Amino acid sequence: MRFLLVDHITDWQSESFIKGVKNIAMSEDYLEFHFPKTPVVPGVLLLEAMAQLAGWFEAKASDFKRWMLMNKITKGSFYGFALPGDQVEMEVRPLVAVGTKKRAYQGIAGIGGRKAVRAEFEGEVVELSQLEDIAEQKRFFEILTRQFRLE
Give the distance, in angstroms, between the CA of residue 140 and the centroid of all CA atoms in the same chain. Answer: 14
Closest C-alpha to 62, from 149, 148, 141, 150: 141
Element (H, E) at 74: strand 66-78
Phi and psi angles of residue 43, each rounded to the nearest 5 degrees, phi first: -55, -35
By annotation, the residues acting in catalysis are 34
